[in-house]
């Protein structure tokens, strides 16, 4: 395993805020290798390139960027943000060292993000199964976990500095967007401090994860999906429509259909 180091990409140099973030992370979490970019297609795509090049020597690594030109979400959706307005990070770790089953990890990351956002002064923070974080019903963060060989690639985007007017309009069927700055107003600590607070919450929890029961309880207490009508594909290729009721031990969603039958919607992590 190569010695962990901090690398700033020469051809696409990051801004000063992200440089400060990366240096602080390198000091706080010295076992993680950091690669930092100004602009990149996507941090998850870079993680895949690292994994294919280095194999088992790819873990544990963090990819940070000021801007993504091809940012992605689940089910082919895009993540669009102006340069230096968001926290854009991908973390890589071997599945074998994770405390929870890989399908529970998006939920765990959402819980840890909630903790970080609340420490920044945001309230009414919730999760939407399986991979969004909401503030007052508006989307502030998305999570995209994918498998690459034996590694779990964990991509996260958080809106930080955008004004309400600068945030993109979303489909009327989806939560509208918000940002840390829009929610905190004059109390916004700045991109540097906000990024460090959120990354510290994520990496500290990855290194010293709480018990699985804490994740399940925290998610259940804060899930905006419960009690709402949902429609998801099941593992057999069909569509289940009903009322979201709970999650099981693996993070799968339990839905009660029109006949009163409890259906389990398993979350799958696509290969990257």
Per-residue pLDDT reduced to its tens digit, 215-271: 999 999 999 999 999 988 766 667 889 999 999 999 999 999 988 989 888 876 766
Evaluate whether residue 272 is within a structural domain.
no
Evaluate whether residue 271 is within a structural domain.
no
Shared domain for 177 and 233, answered yes or no, is no
Shared domain for 187 and 204, answered yes or no, is yes
Distance of alpha carbon 28 from alpha carbon 44, whole angstroms: 23
Question: Residue 79 pLDDT > 70, yes or no?
Answer: no
N- to C-terminal Cα distance for the chain? Answer: 22
Shared domain for 169 and 261, answered yes or no, is no
Distance of alpha carbon 87 from alpha carbon 40, whole angstroms: 13
Question: Residue 73 pLDDT > 60, yes or no?
Answer: no
* pLDDT on residue 3: 83
Distance of alpha carbon 10 from alpha carbon 264, whole angstroms: 47
Query: CA 268 → CA 6, 130, 131, 182, 209, distances in Å?
Result: 32, 10, 12, 33, 22
Evaluate whether residue 1 is within a structural domain.
no
Q: pLDDT tier at 76 (50, 70, 90 boundaries)?
A: low
* pLDDT on residue 15: 95
Evaluate whether residue 126 is within a structural domain.
yes
Shared domain for 113 and 242, answered yes or no, is no
Q: Which domain holds residue 133?
A: 6-222
Structural domain tally of the chain? 2
Which string of DSSP letters, residue by residue, matches 52-67?
HHHGGGG-SEEEEEEE
Question: Residue 80 pLDDT > 70, yes or no?
Answer: no
Shared domain for 81 and 202, answered yes or no, is yes
Question: Residue 203 pLDDT > 70, yes or no?
Answer: yes
Question: Residue 146 pLDDT > 90, yes or no?
Answer: yes
Out of 52-56, 64-68, 201-205, 230-234, pick the least confident: 230-234
Shared domain for 171 and 191, answered yes or no, is yes
* pLDDT on residue 82: 86
What the block records as the tokens of 209 is 């994860």
Q: Mean of the pLDDT values across residues 190-214?
A: 97
Distance of alpha carbon 89 from alpha carbon 43, whole angstroms: 6
State the pairing for strand pair 138-148/6-8. unpaired
Shared domain for 33 and 101, answered yes or no, is yes
Specify the CATH number for the domain of residue 237: 2.30.30
Evaluate whether residue 37 is within a structural domain.
yes
Proportion of the chain in helix, strand, coil states, percent, rounded to 5: 35, 30, 35
Question: Residue 63 pLDDT > 80, yes or no?
Answer: yes
Shared domain for 66 and 196, answered yes or no, is yes
Per-residue pLDDT reduced to its tens digit, 86-104: 999 999 999 888 889 899 9
Evaluate whether residue 270 is within a structural domain.
no
CB 139 within 8 A of CB 132: yes
DSSP 178: -
* pLDDT on residue 235: 64
DSSP 235: T
Evaluate whether residue 21 is within a structural domain.
yes
Shared domain for 257 and 155, answered yes or no, is no
* pLDDT on residue 263: 87
Q: pLDDT tier at 209 (50, 70, 90 boundaries)?
A: very high
Question: Residue 185 pLDDT > 60, yes or no?
Answer: yes
Question: Residue 75 pLDDT > 70, yes or no?
Answer: no
Which string of DSSP letters, residue by residue, matches 106-169?
HHHHHHHHHHHHHHTT--SEEEETTTEEEETTEEEEEEEEEEETTEEEEEEEEE-S--TTTSPP
Shared domain for 209 and 234, answered yes or no, is no
Task: Please give the helix or strand (H or E) that residue 47 lies within, else none.
Answer: helix 43-54
Shared domain for 213 and 234, answered yes or no, is no
Shared domain for 122 and 212, answered yes or no, is yes
Q: pLDDT tier at 81 (50, 70, 90 boundaries)?
A: confident
Specify the CATH number for the domain of residue 65: 3.30.930.10
């Amino acid at each position: 395993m190569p010695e962990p180091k901090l690398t700033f990409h020469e051809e696409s140099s990051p801004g000063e805020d992200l440089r400060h973030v990366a240096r602080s992370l390198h000091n706080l979490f010295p076992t993680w290798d950091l690669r930092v970019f100004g602009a990149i297609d996507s941090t998850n795509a870079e993680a895949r390139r690292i994994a294919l090049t280095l194999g088992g020597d790819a873990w544990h690594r963090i990819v940070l960027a000021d801007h993504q030109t091809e940012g992605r979400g689940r089910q082919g959706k895009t993540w669009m943000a102006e340069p230096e307005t968001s926290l854009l990070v991908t973390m890589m770790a071997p599945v074998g060292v994770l405390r929870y089953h890989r399908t529970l990890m998006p939920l765990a990351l959402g819980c840890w993000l909630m903790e970080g956002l609340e420490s920044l002064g945001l309230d009414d923070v919730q999760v939407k199964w399986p991979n969004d974080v909401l503030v007052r019903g508006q989307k502030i963060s998305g999570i995209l976990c994918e498998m690459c060989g034996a590694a779990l690639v964990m991509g996260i985007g958080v809106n930080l500095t955008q004004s309400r007017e600068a945030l993109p309009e979303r489909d009327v069927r989806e939560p509208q967007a918000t940002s840390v700055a829009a929610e905190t107003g004059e109390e916004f600590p700045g991109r540097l401090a906000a990024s460090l607070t959120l990354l510290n919450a994520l990496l500290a929890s990855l290194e010293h994860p709480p018990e699985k029961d804490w994740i399940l309880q925290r998610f259940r207490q804060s899930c905006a999906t419960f009690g709402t009508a949902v429609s998801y594909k099941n593992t057999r290729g069909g569509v289940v429509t009903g009322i979201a009721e709970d999650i099981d031990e693996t993070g799968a969603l339990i839905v009660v259909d029109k006949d009163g039958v409890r259906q389990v919607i398993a979350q799958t992590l696509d290969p990257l």
